[in-house]
Chain A
Amino acid sequence: MKEYKCIYAILDSDVKSSDHKPEIMGLDSSPVYFVGFRDISAAVSNVNQDKMKVSSDIAFSYEKIIEDLWMKYNLLPMRFGSVMKNDTNVIEIMKKNYSDFIDNLKKVENKSEFGLEILCDLNKTDFKTDNTFNLNNYKKLKQLDKNSVYRNYLIDKLKQHKSEDSFMKKIDDIIEEIHSPLKKLSYLSNVTKMVTTKIILNATYLVKNDMKDEFIQTTQQIKREKKDLKFLLTGPWPPYNFVNLSIK
């Protein structure tokens, strides 16, 4: 049966496979070994096919392999499905992209990733938004005939717009109150607001390892202050979201 090489991560050390005991088992029950180029290495294992299958068990296994390596080495996780024909190809990848690998490895060194989602049931939460509407602020509208359908329609639309605007400002304020202290504790962060009607914030933070406890404690403190919101904090993760590399 033909064998392929699954790459799990690029490590910032020249790791010798013989030095690495106990072995970490890769997918397809083959041990992970290391292919070196200069002062970096690729963690790889033999797999039976070039088309990687994904299921929840395989996903967890793949992630665990990267986590096990991450406990010992600074690394760049490879996207699932990174399969090559042979070790020579793996070395070629490291040779071609050496400086990008080094730059990214330096960026994530001694740091961990945290994911934070803030969920909110908008129907149940009272945001106390400002919904007051004063017609006196709209002189031309006020001059229209009181029985005009256009007048009533425009008033309804203006009220709706004002309400939505007020609501989004409130959401922005809440996000700022959560994100701002966490951003100060992190080295880098990515933020997406209003991912769905219930996820008002989806953020990832790259945190220095000596700041991890403070980051978690601060999140916990914010959670206590925002009782209407649900906090989903995950981590520490290897730096998946802070490796921005598409290589050839």
Chain B
Amino acid sequence: MDDVITKSKNVTLLEVLDRILNKGVVISGDLVISVADIDLVYLGLKLLLSSVETMEKYRGAPIYSPYQEPS
């Protein structure tokens, strides 16, 4: 059963980032919220970009098409 579940760390990192940064309950308004300060944005983006770049090579460039269904 397990062989269909991916174990790749790169893929999992992207899956984790996609979920924790883009999904879940989001607070809006005048509360104290932010994601990373300047230095850490740089560090974070560097990590993110290298992962995304690696995966994009494998997965292909994004395309924008009329075939996308609303989620």
Contacts and interface: CB of A to CB of B under 8 A. Distances in A.
Interface of A: 4, 10, 49-56, 59-60, 62-63, 66, 76-85, 89, 93, 104, 115, 119, 168, 171-172, 190-199, 213, 216-217, 219-220, 223, 231-235, 237, 240-241, 243, 245-248
Contacts of A248: 27-29
Which size class do B's interface residues fall under? 35 or more
Q: Is the interface of B mostly helix, strand, loop or mixed?
A: mixed
Contacts of B67: 168, 171-172, 193-194
Given A78-B25, A81-B33, A245-B26, A197 B20 contact: no
B31 A89 contact: yes
B13 interface: yes
B16 to A, nearest CB: 5
B26 A246 contact: yes
A156 to B, nearest CB: 22
A248 to B, nearest CB: 4
B69 A196 contact: no
Contacts of B5: 216, 233-235
A240 B18 CA distance: 9
A223 B1 CA distance: 12
A189 to B, nearest CB: 9
Contact of B47 (A49, A56, A84): A56
Contacts of B26: 78-79, 82, 245-247
Nearest to B13: A56
B37 A62 contact: no
Contact of B34 (A52, A84, A193, A219): A52
B60 A53 contact: no
Contact of B24 (A4, A115, A240): A240
5 tightest Cβ-Cβ pairs between the two chains A and B: A198-B60, A197-B60, A53-B40, A240-B23, A240-B19
Contacts of A196: 56, 59-63
